[in-house]
Amino acid sequence: MTRDDEPHEGRTADFDVVVVGAGFAGLYALHRLRELGLSAVAFEAGDGVGGTWYWNRYPGARCDVESIEYSFSFSPEIEQEWDWTDLMPSQPEVERYLNFVCDRLDLRREIRFSTRVTRMTFDEPRAIWSVETDAGDVVTAPFVIAATGCLSAPLEPDIPGVSSFEGVSLYTNRFPKEGFDFTGKRVGVIGTGSSGVQCIPVIAEQADRLYVFQRSAAYTFPSSARPLEPSELAELKAMYPEIRRQQQASPAGAVRLSAFAALFQPSKGEILDTPYEEQLRVLDEHGWLGAFAWSDALLDIDANRAATRLYGEMIRRTVHDPETAASLVPQYPFGCKRPIVDVGYFETFNRHNVTLVDLKKDPIDTITAHGIRTREHDLELDVIVFATGFDAMTGALTRVDIRGRDGRSLKDEWADGPRAYLGLAVAGFPNLFTVTGPGSPSVLTNMVTSIELHVDWIADCLVYLRDHGAHTIEADADAQEAWVEHGASLVEGRIPSHPSCNSWYVGANIPGKTRVYMPYAGGHVSYKEQCEAVAAEGYDGFLVG
Ligand code: NA7
């Protein structure tokens, strides 16, 4: 099925495949498609490649997976040609790496930059997708690969008065390319997820005054980020085959999780059976991670609370002001949200120019022309940094007007929570593949490992269709329901679905979003086996036409 062929009776198309997005997933998809001799075009909203690593260029942005694993495994040449400088790569380094890969594979000519896909319509009689963009493109292709990312639809904060601020408004999820000098400025940061926690210590060093507006406290751990020694890098490069093998055997798709190493060490026993003095001794020995080094901490809510109390002890030891320290202790269970890695986050609250505003006690009334008014304070600001997160997992897809069979809208289909088979395909939307879509391990794993698995699976599927003279593939509705139920059963009664756990994994950060746990919690290894079995059985659970 090349561009010149007619893959379906009476069907002509501009390309074999349209790829949406040019981050890790889009770039790898373009590469695989070219290898298969398929024609493709990618649309990318940014004016450069990188996706998440293009947009989230706020100060302090850094990956929490080691660079040696947060990288493509498909090319031994690229593995050897690229030199990582840091153990945990910073945003600029990941962006440089993806530009290197893009040029090394000569992918840029297939990407239309600064172009956002707005609408995709499946023409049933011709079995062709028509894809429209905000630049006026209308292109057709039998297949679409949505490489749209899990955290790429910015959440616009619904804070009263947000548009009335006359100072500078900055967003971590689309930070200015030229950077921003906070020197001498009075700054407010709203949000204390990964982005807030990473940028706050850096901004604090520059700003005249910094107010941190916290709605939910964060579980964060000291980062093990450091430069890689050249000899160390050479050693790691020589070990790539073994590292990749281990990654594939790991439920997280990553093994060298140095930041969380203590969490994976043999447990210190059950916290509920351990006297507090002994718990404190473990804390003295293991530091921050010692708080959760207990076998029951992630299984039992009371044990989890006891571990959080221990974590709070570490905060009290670090943060001098007792009231600030108390506000910084999370109120929700550990394991509900992705733990963060930081560089000097809690220490930042000991600086004379930094103030924590605990929104649970003193909520924001409104943003004014000159700053932020809370119930108790009127704070004048020059800059507000919004680190308020994303419409995660589904937002990048539901913000595009996607129409499948009978004009059905994906947004409507997912109004009560996303339903997808293997997180790869949606019933009623033939020939549309969703890379790391809802219902796949995605954000619970090393994203690069999950992306490679999906893109390879899709590429194999396209070959299968070509070899079998088939033109359409679509998730079967019953198989999809069974998969959704299986996914839900994995978290039922567990910490991530506890009522007090308001994470973006369940869409709780978006007012009105149906509460459904969206990623697949079964781990990379089991998930991969299931994907492979589906393919081996002639795409079991799919309708191939
Ligand atoms: P997150 O993790 O969703 O964090 C967003 C933060 O912003 C979080 O603390 C939110 O509080 C807070 N927030 C959101 N809206 C508001 C309003 N209206 N008022 C006050 N505070 C608000 O996004 P990040 O960008 O930090 O990180 C995303 C992921 O990237 C991260 O999980 C890693 O996987 C990498 P909340 O917790 O909802 O109470």
User: What is the DSSP annotation of 17-29?
Assistant: EEEE--SHHHHHH
Q: Are residues 352 and 371 in the same domain?
A: yes
Give the C-alpha distances (Å, rounded to integers) separating 415 from 150, 383, 503: 17, 36, 18
Cα–ligand 1 centroid distance for 215 (angstroms): 9
Rounded to whole angstroms, the Cα distance separating 482 from 491 reads: 15
Measured in Å, how far apart are the chain's first and last C-alpha atoms?
Answer: 15
Shared domain for 206 and 351, answered yes or no, is yes
Beta strand segments in 14-63, E: 17-20, 40-43
| Ligand 1: centre distance to CA 196 (Å) | 8
pLDDT band at 1 (very low <50, low <70, confident <90, very high): very low
Residue 7, pLDDT score: 45
| Structure confidence at residue 260 (pLDDT) | 66
Q: Where do we find the tokens 């304070």?
A: 377
- Residue 168 tokens read as 């500078």
Tokens encoding 380 = 């004048």
DSSP 210: E
Of the listed ranges 45-54, 89-98, 145-154, 254-263, the least confidently predicted one is: 254-263
Residue with CA closest to ligand 1 atom 17: 157
Pocket probe mutation, ligand 1, options 62, 195, 506, max atoms within 8 Å of Cβ:
195
At 289 the pLDDT is 87
243 is a domain residue: no
- CA-338 nearest atom, ligand 1: 32
User: DSSP readout, 432-477?
Assistant: EEETT-TTSSGGGS-HHHHHHHHHHHHHHHHHHHHHTT---EEE-H
Closest by CA to 513, choosing from 387, 393, 333, 335, is: 393
Residue nearest to atom 16 of ligand 1 (CA): 388
User: Which pLDDT does position 264 carry in this prediction?
Assistant: 60
Ligand 1: residue whose CA is nearest its atom 33: 194
Q: Which of 315, 335, 355 delimits the end of a domain?
A: 335
Say if residue 414 is in the same domain as residue 473. Answer: yes
* pLDDT value for 435: 98
Q: Under 8 Å CB-to-CB from 135, ≥6 apart: which residues?
A: 112, 114, 115, 116
- Identify whether residues 356 and 404 lie together within a single domain: no
In a domain, 346, yes or no: yes
Tens of pLDDT, residue by residue over 78-121, are 999 999 999 999 999 999 999 999 999 999 999 999 999 999 99
Separation of CA 152 and ligand 1 centre (Å): 13
- Strands 354-358 and 209-214 come out as parallel
Residue 315 φ/ψ, nearest 5 degrees? -65, -45
Question: What are the angstrom distances between the C-alpha of 472 and each of 60, 228, 400?
Answer: 45, 47, 22
Give yes or no: residues 461 and 529 share one domain: yes
CA of 328 to the centre of ligand 1 (A): 15
Of 374, 389, 404, which residue constitutes the final position of a domain?
389
Whole-angstrom distance, CA of residue 68 vs CA of residue 225: 13
Residues in Cβ contact with 360 at an 8 Å cutoff, skipping those fewer than 6 apart: 215, 327, 331
Q: And the tokens for 260? A: 């969380």
- For ligand 1, atom 6, the nearest C-alpha belongs to 191
Of all residues in the chain, what percent carry a pLDDT higher than 70? 96
Closest CA to 189 of 169, 173, 213: 213
d(CA 420, CA 52): 23
Residue 229 counted as domain residue: no
Residues 318 and 200 in one domain: no
Spatial contact of 214 and 356, defined as CB atoms under 8 Å apart = yes
Distance in Å, CA 520 to ligand 1 centroid: 21
416 to 41, 153, 518: CA distances (angstroms): 32, 19, 12
Return the residue whose CA atom lies nearest to atom 3 of ligand 1.
389
In whole angstroms, what is the distance from residue 33 CA to residue 107 CA? 11
Q: Which pLDDT score is estimated for 261? A: 60
Residues 203, 189 contacting (CB under 8 angstroms)? yes
Q: For ligand 1, pick from 65, 159, 194 the residue to mutate: most ligand atoms within 8 Å of CB.
A: 194
Regarding whether 200 and 78 lie in a shared domain, the answer is no
Ligand 1 pocket, mutate which of 509, 510, 513, 515 (most atoms under 8 A from CB): 509
Q: Are 144 and 433 in contact (CB under 8 A)?
A: yes
Nearest CA to ligand 1 atom 2: 193
Name which residue sits closest to atom 20 of ligand 1, judged by CA.
Answer: 215
Q: Are residues 516 and 434 in the same domain?
A: yes
Q: Which atom of ligand 1 is nearest to the CA of 509?
A: 38
Query: Token pair of 541, please?
Result: 């659970």
Taking the centre of ligand 1 as the mean of its atom positions, its distance from the CA of residue 201, in whole angstroms, is 17
In a domain, 244, yes or no: no
Expressed in angstroms and rounded, the spacing between residue 169 Cα and the centre of ligand 1 is 17
Q: Does 201 map to a domain?
A: yes
Q: What residues have CB less than 8 Å from 67, skipping those under 6 apart? A: 84, 86, 87, 88, 89, 93, 94, 228
7-11, 213-217, 430-434, 465-469: range with lowest mean pLDDT: 7-11
Measured CA to CA in angstroms, residue 456 lies from 111, 217, 344, 535 at distances of: 20, 39, 39, 11
Q: How distant is the alpha carbon of residue 57 from its chain centre? A: 15
The verdict on residue 72 lying in a domain is yes
Whether residues 366 and 400 share a domain: the answer is no
**What distance in Å separates the CA atoms of residue 532 and residue 493, rounded to the nearest whole number?**
29
Dihedral angle, C-alpha 12, 17, 22, 24, nearest 10 °: -170
Residue 372 maps to which CATH number? 3.50.50.60
Model confidence, pTM: 0.96
Tell me 270's DSSP state: -
* Domain membership flag for residue 287: yes
Total domains, the chain: 3
Are 160 and 291 part of one and the same domain? no
pLDDT at 254 over 60: yes
Domain boundary among 335, 366, 400: 335
* Residues 402 and 470 grouped into a single domain: yes
Residue with tokens 């890969």: 101
Q: How far is the CA of 192 from the centre of ligand 1 (A)?
A: 6
120 in any annotated domain? yes
Same domain? 288 vs 175: no
3-class DSSP assignment, residue 480: helix
Q: What is the pLDDT of residues 136-182, one digit of tens each?
A: 999 999 999 999 999 999 998 999 999 999 999 999 999 999 999 99
Answer whether 321's CB lies under 8 Å from 348's CB.
no
When pLDDT is cut at 50, 70 and 90, the band that residue 262 belongs to is: low
Q: State how far the Cα of 385 lies from the Cα of 383, in Å rounded to an integer.
A: 6
Summary mean pLDDT of the chain:
95
Predicted local confidence at residue 268, as pLDDT: 85
Give the per-residue pLDDT at 6: 40
3 pLDDT above the threshold of 90: no
Give the nearest ligand 1 atom to 197 CA.
26
**Domain enclosing residue 471, as ranges:** 17-154+392-544
Which residues are near ligand 1 (CB < 6 Å)? 151, 157-159, 172, 190-196, 213, 215-216, 338, 359, 387-389, 443, 504, 509
